[in-house]
Amino acid sequence: MSIIPINNLPEIAPNDNLAQLIIEQSDCEGIKIIDGDILVITQKLISKSESRTKKLSEVIPSPKAEILSEKINRDPKFIELILSESIRIVAMDTKRGLIITETNHGFICANSGIDSSNILGDDEVSLLPINPDLSASKIRETILEQTNSTNLGVIITDTFGRAWRNGQTNVCIGIAGLHPIKNYKGLSDDYGSILTSTEIAIADEIASASELVMGKTNRVGAAIVRGYNFDNTQIGDSSDLIRDSAQDLFNKGEFL
Amino acid sequence: MSIIPINNLPEIAPNDNLAQLIIEQSDCEGIKIIDGDILVITQKLISKSESRTKKLSEVIPSPKAEILSEKINRDPKFIELILSESIRIVAMDTKRGLIITETNHGFICANSGIDSSNILGDDEVSLLPINPDLSASKIRETILEQTNSTNLGVIITDTFGRAWRNGQTNVCIGIAGLHPIKNYKGLSDDYGSILTSTEIAIADEIASASELVMGKTNRVGAAIVRGYNFDNTQIGDSSDLIRDSAQDLFNKGEFL
């Protein structure tokens, strides 16, 4: 299996045809997308192409955002965006100015996934795509059409923190063309015993693998995972990766 | 970057020289370990070679294990092992028979990392290595000696569940020759802005990447990650991946 960065993509502007730009650049780099590839794209590129950026100076904070902003000592305009992009606050550390929310999509992450890295200007932040599965699906369709492929996976990633473990990892926030979970339940292991509870979040593992070639400072926002044999008859979306809150023993965090 | 499975390793027995067997098999498969490789090995192989397996029939449950066993309706002998391999119960779901513990090493995972998949016999379970960093370090030293390499990373993995997200992923439980975290703090992003909080758990991402070629049913317990340029002047151990519980907003789970 190989993981190939797509280097030197141009700066992405609103309404750019990202799929087209990725095809052109991968051709140009001599790594033409082929059948069976999984194309991994960071949220930042998608959000830029879908105009999911905001100028903080143009945000008007609500009274709720103002109150919270004083409590955790962060810009009320930033807090306003965090609140409007989420359905609830899951946990908070007022001393460190840390807010963990459940986003409108159901993802649990810091600051509703809003950040200002790898985006032009001090005032601008990027929000998560409104429907990352739809974004993945549209890109997949364009690429299938343009390249005469029939089998392509597309995964959109973001960098999330985790409970219990230091360091962030890339995870899947949008997917098309394959199922994000590989289910081993009922299959035999190498000794003939039936596996009872093994379900692997392959989409998150693919997202993590791609981060290793993309990094945060290399102007690489897309990569191709080649040689991973996925089952393209099983498809799903990013909601399959979200644990039902009633089943989640760590759904509620602490307010420190 | 490529991820190459080491296929057809023999069944590992107690006191086997696992490093030697991996060198031989990778040579035999024509994928000789070279300078700059990261060798990824699953916990199962390490545990087998280090006699970290137990026959459930030989375990004598403590009164505490007996009480818990009734509460969650699981074998008291299995509960006894879970308790002896952990320093505390973090969360529990009595209906689903689920116990999340903090292991003696400080990892938070289901059943103290004890399981019965890919191990011979119905009665036998594998425990995590006592000191997975030391296990990684010993394997690294043997391979450096035998192959005249000077630069090799070794990562030992296990499959853990996560808060909030469905599906398990492989994570690093032992490491030698590189640091598990890549710290971007203070570096400039592609637009010249200083990154303030980006720390990537590359060891977990490498562990996840390797799972994609190993799977659970292919008799593949080791893989080589080739072409990932790691900084071998920065080394660390698996404790660098464990979030300080005082800083962790999700350290305490619920008892359902």
Distance of alpha carbon B123 from alpha carbon A186, whole angstroms:
19
Clarify whether residues A58 and A46 are in a common domain.
no
Residue B248 located in a structural domain? no
Give residue A243's pLDDT band: very low, low, confident or very high (50, 70, 90).
very high
How far is the alpha carbon of B34 from chain A, nearest alpha carbon, in Å?
Answer: 17
Clarify whether residues A65 and A110 are in a common domain.
yes
- Which chain B residues have a beta carbon less than 8 Å from that of A171? 165
Clarify whether residues A147 and A200 are in a common domain.
yes
- From chain B residues 85-114, the ones with a CB under 8 A of any chain A CB are 91-93, 98, 100, 107-108
- How many helices and strands (H and E) does chain B possess? 6, 12
Give residue B129's pLDDT band: very low, low, confident or very high (50, 70, 90).
very high
- How many helices and strands (H and E) does chain A possess? 6, 12
Clarify whether residues B105 and B59 are in a common domain.
yes
What are the C-alpha distances in Å from A208 to residues A114, A141, A194, A211, B92? 19, 24, 28, 5, 28
Residue A256 located in a structural domain? no
**Per-residue model confidence (pLDDT) at position A82:** 98
Clarify whether residues A152 and A213 are in a common domain.
yes
Give residue B216's pLDDT band: very low, low, confident or very high (50, 70, 90).
confident
Question: By C-alpha distance, which of B91, B227, B154 is closest to B82?
Answer: B91
Residue B252 located in a structural domain? no
Q: What is the pLDDT of residues A163-196, one digit of tens each?
A: 999 999 999 999 999 999 999 888 888 877 787 7
Clarify whether residues A105 and A193 are in a common domain.
no
Residue among A44, A111, A166 with most chain B CBs within 10 A, to mutate: A166
Residue B112 located in a structural domain? yes
**Per-residue model confidence (pLDDT) at position A206:** 98
Clarify whether residues A137 and A228 are in a common domain.
yes
- Which chain A residues have a beta carbon less than 8 Å from that of B251? 163-164, 254
How far is the alpha carbon of B91 from chain A, nearest alpha carbon, in Å?
Answer: 7
- Kindly determine whether residue A253 and residue B254, on different chains, have CB atoms separated by under 8 Å: no
Among B124, B141, B169, give the residue marking a domain's end.
B124
Q: Provide CB contacts within 8 A for A160, sequence distance 6+.
A: A107, A109, A110, A168, A169, A170, A171
Residue B40 located in a structural domain? yes
Question: In this predicted structure, which of A95-99, A217-221, B150-154 has the lowest mean pLDDT?
Answer: A217-221
Looking at residue B128, what DSSP letter applies? P
Residue among A48, A78, A162, A240 with most chain B CBs within 10 A, to mutate: A162
CATH number at residue B97: 3.90.1660.10
Mean pLDDT across A224-233: 96
Number of domains present in the structure of chain B: 2
What are the C-alpha distances in Å from B96 to residues A196, A248, B247? 13, 12, 29
How far is the alpha carbon of B139 from chain A, nearest alpha carbon, in Å?
Answer: 24
Q: How many CB pairs under 8 A join A and B?
A: 227
Residue B193 located in a structural domain? yes
CATH number at residue B179: 3.30.1330.100
- From chain B residues 202-241, the ones with a CB under 8 A of any chain A CB are 202, 204-206, 208-209, 211-213, 216-219, 228, 240-241
Residue A253 located in a structural domain? no
Give residue B122's pLDDT band: very low, low, confident or very high (50, 70, 90).
confident
Clarify whether residues A175 and A221 are in a common domain.
yes
**Per-residue model confidence (pLDDT) at position B240:** 98
Q: What is the pLDDT of residues B59-112, one digit of tens each?
A: 999 999 999 999 999 999 999 999 999 999 999 999 888 999 999 999 999 999
Mean pLDDT across A23-40: 96
- Kindly determine whether residue B108 and residue A218, on different chains, have CB atoms separated by under 8 Å: no
Cβ(A72)–Cβ(A92) below 8 Å: yes
A171 touching B, CB under 8 A? yes
Clarify whether residues B46 and B64 are in a common domain.
no
Residue among B2, B193, B208 with most chain A CBs within 10 A, to mutate: B208
Provide the sign of the torsion angle of the four alpha carbons A195, A198, A200, A201, taken in this order.
Answer: positive
- Which chain B residues have a beta carbon less than 8 Å from that of A2? 1-3
Clarify whether residues B82 and B15 are in a common domain.
no
Among B102, B124, B146, give the residue marking a domain's end.
B124
Residue-number span of the structural domain to which A61 is assigned: 54-124
Question: By C-alpha distance, which of B203, B250, B210, B248 is closest to B226?
Answer: B210
Out of B1, B206, B248, closest to residue A2 by CB = B1
Q: What mean pLDDT is reported for chain A?
A: 94
**Per-residue model confidence (pLDDT) at position B246:** 87
Mean pLDDT across B170-177: 98
Clarify whether residues B188 and B228 are in a common domain.
yes
Among B78, B109, B124, give the residue marking a domain's end.
B124
**Per-residue model confidence (pLDDT) at position B180:** 98
What are the C-alpha distances in Å from B179 to residues A245, B38, B172, B186? 34, 12, 11, 18
User: Which amino acid would we find at residue A188?
Assistant: S
Residue B74 located in a structural domain? yes
Q: Which residue has the higher pLDDT, A100 or A192?
A: A100
Q: Provide CB contacts within 8 A for B27, sequence distance 6+.
A: none
Clarify whether residues B79 and B10 are in a common domain.
no
